Structure 1
């Protein structure tokens, strides 16, 4: 049987990078040949398949920021690569990959599967940018492309807001490998034993300022430390977060950690009391799936992805994002009621095991590729 050749096109950072590596490392190499086209400066770490072999990759001018020159250049570069490789399918990931992939796919008559990993128009407060980004998504919807959402709520948004036909929108939930071993920290521990945690760069999306305000209210009644992991170079609201911490005199209550090894993230989540998210939008966040896999209850905002993963009062709590009072109430409930925390934590692992184990679920994605 001839292998199905798939080109993955993306700016390989963050959750998108995690998604692709998990897919490549679990797909059947006897049935599929994978090739990666990614940004020239996004990752230097090679991609590997299920057998541990390096996956063929190309680097093109895909960058995070909008640039007419670079964006057009990436179209030309990708078009030339696709002409040489002649794939049966393009799997385009996130906004930039989605635009380049769908345009070049149309030009060459190649079917495209597009995974937004949270639509780009959700990422801005600027109404003109929001309209522009949404218009681009609407223009490129349907045609030769099929939407592969990472959650049911992302699929719903694609149909209701972007205009995808229901027949052209399907779901493959983000999922991860079981976390069977917790490695020692590679960084120096500077925080207390009792803490809650989150993963996410200070940004409009993650809304860390809201988290700081919530913690400030919680600590009026029950002291708990917060660790924020993922404070990297692309953290547009880092100064805002630091200023708020100083303003509320919370320097001893919050630890901001730079990007670190994924094993460190697992270690820190595993030792925490529970996980917290105040995101304004998501696709389906890996950090919450990882928390479920580590038997951690989660208190999360009511946005796409979060509300798919967390069932209220089963494996955590879902709270309206602006409701600081309710966030405070749910956090205090878990800090005070150990029996409840234990029950939700046990259910958290059951949620992961039943729904988000890639070892069990990869065959679903392979079937989508072959359809």
Structure 2
């Protein structure tokens, strides 16, 4: 039976780590447990959760910064920000639908996995909002890096390094991050009936317009019906989000609609419909199907996404839709993950990386979940991991130090 620890304090977590290091036992590091089943299986002797290390430490709306303990539920963070008309700019995904898990996403887990949603390609990733942190290394030492304002760059590289390390370098105990004013209004311009290649041209044209598009996605006919039942017109949907003040959004939506009319039928979704649609895009609703069919998160150049999918469809059963102007491709394989084929085709279209987000236990055990690193980068990652966690007690089996 695996022993489970949930210390309520930073020192309690550090004490567990020091004991584990002395005894040479391994630890599986978890927050809210919402990403159970992600990545290569972790084979650990004990589980250490930050769930009880919870609470907002400081929040200064005027300076648009917040500090919170790592186990603070994301819902608590978002509620506090919403009360002051502010938000997390990077729109973090909720992984529970695609994994079929329960629990509560935590702010520490968001930054540990660098979780970023549809706004990422214009607002930056989660790590770009992270100003400072406290963490515990593999020796059980508490380390502070960064600060509460952007101009304080002390330890900034360390801050960026921990974000996206998936619990392989240290255990986050407190995070300090910047926030932004909420967008008071939103609308989505929809261009209907375009195939994947045509949609890439539509999104490129939209991004070239001076209208500040904050979301650009393409939903092929195979998935369109699984989004916002009844709200999207018939046919594949290329969707462009506009946010800001109501009058500005209305004017920009009109201009964008006019600029895109030559591509095909154009319609609009209102603020309420837009909110639902982009939350479903963020949370990959079409593939939250209660199965463990292999699901890949693929990042390539925006112009290459549709080429990659077209090549794969000639060889294997695959379903897909596109976010980040086509640069983020969500791929669900019908049977085998086809990792070798996928990664070979990614190289053929100019490069990128593929993360196996979900698969059965056997597939996760045999396929590298993260893109294999070039030799020099892999050696650097190993040296970093040896420096932060010399006894290799954190998340054994997780193959990437940085994502």
TM-score tier, shorter chain, comes to: 0.3 to 0.5
The answer to which structure has the higher helix fraction is 1
TM-score, with normalisation over the residues of structure 1?
A: 0.32
